[in-house]
């Protein structure tokens, strides 16, 4: 195992993150704060509690998940796309590193950034709304698992993309709508019956509900199903990454 190579990639990626701190941290924290101000404090104060949880506190896990999903994808996809774009990917391809080491370095760095961002947003939320965490171990587990899984997903997008536009397509056109429609701002039991069934095809529902359960012990779906769906997506991403390195898809001719 080339631990020094993993460390080199990890440190290099984190250094890039520190250079773009405004974009990586401050920007999502500000936008999430605006959600808390508008939906949590302004509108939320006029809404009734959901399953005994105030509306402001109810949306905390969903908003965290929204930020974590988009930032994981964004960080990991840029992390691998930039060397492809500049041509410096030759360094990684010609180095004595395995696919596992490359993925650990890039995805580990992207997931670290997302976890830090999640913790910062959690602390920021406390300024606007009171909340409690019922199952902190599970909160950490879901936070880490989701960050790693979507960083893997972002890594796949970064390999697949052949232009900056493609890097943005999936987070903007797929992840954000799925997160908004995945119960971040409401309980799916509030939807008409037909939409409740359709919503179950949205994978983000399981991520948000699992995470919310770890906070308040309430969930629209069972926590086991949430964990199972998250793990399933993790292994699907892992399988695609394995295939990418096995075939050299868009990496090696």
Phi–psi pair at 134, nearest 5 degrees: -75, -40
Least distance in angstroms from the C-beta of 156 to another protein: 20
H or E segment to which residue 224 belongs: helix 223-247
Of 156, 183, 181, the closest CA to residue 170 belongs to 156
Q: Which of 46, 52, 96, 137 touches another protein (CB under 8 A)?
A: 96
Q: Which of 21, 34, 43, 93 touches another protein (CB under 8 A)?
A: 93
Cα–Cα distance for residue pair 244/233, rounded to 1 Å: 17
Q: Which of 94, 137, 194, 201 touches another protein (CB under 8 A)?
A: 94
Q: Is 230 buried (19+), middle (13-18) or exposed (0-12) by CB count in 10 A?
A: buried
Stretch that binds another protein, among 6-14, 179-187, 210-218, 232-240 (CB under 8 A): 6-14
Q: Which of residues 58-87 bind another protein (CB under 8 A)?
A: 86-87
Regarding 232 and contact with another protein (CB under 8 A), the answer is no
CB-nearer residue toward another protein: 4 or 232: 4
Regarding 21 and contact with another protein (CB under 8 A), the answer is no
Task: Output the DSSP codes for 82-143.
Answer: HHHHHSTHHHHHHSS--HHHHHHHHHHHHHHHHHHHHHHHHHHHHHH-----S-HHHHHHHH
Regarding 37 and contact with another protein (CB under 8 A), the answer is no
Task: State the residues that interact with another protein by CB under 8 A.
Answer: 2, 4-5, 7-9, 11-12, 15-16, 19, 86-88, 90-97, 248, 252-253
């Amino acid at each position: 195992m080339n631990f020094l190579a993993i460390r080199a990639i990890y440190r290099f990626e984190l250094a890039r993150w520190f250079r773009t701190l405004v974009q990586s941290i401050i920007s999502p924290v500000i936008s999430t704060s605006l959600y808390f101000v508008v939906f949590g404090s302004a509108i939320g104060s006029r809404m009734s509690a959901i399953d005994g949880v105030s509306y402001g506190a109810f949306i905390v896990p969903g908003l965290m998940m929204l930020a974590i999903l988009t930032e994981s994808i964004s960080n990991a996809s840029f992390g691998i796309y930039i060397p492809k774009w500049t041509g410096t990917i030759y360094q990684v391809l010609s180095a004595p590193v395995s696919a596992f080491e490359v993925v650990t370095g890039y995805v580990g760095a992207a997931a670290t950034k997302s976890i830090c961002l999640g913790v910062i947003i959690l602390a920021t939320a406390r300024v606007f709304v009171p909340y409690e965490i019922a199952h902190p171990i599970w909160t950490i587990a879901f936070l880490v698992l989701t960050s790693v899984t979507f960083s893997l997903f972002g890594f796949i997008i970064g390999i697949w993309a052949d232009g900056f536009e493609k890097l943005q397509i999936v987070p903007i056109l797929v992840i954000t709508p799925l997160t908004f429609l995945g119960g971040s701002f409401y309980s799916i039991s509030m939807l008409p019956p037909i939409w409740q069934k359709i919503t179950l095809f949205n994978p983000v529902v399981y991520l948000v509900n699992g995470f919310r359960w770890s906070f308040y012990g309430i969930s629209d779906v069972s926590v086991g199903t949430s964990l199972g769906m998250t793990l399933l997506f993790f292994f699907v991403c892992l399988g695609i990454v394995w295939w990418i390195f096995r075939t050299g898809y868009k990496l090696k001719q």
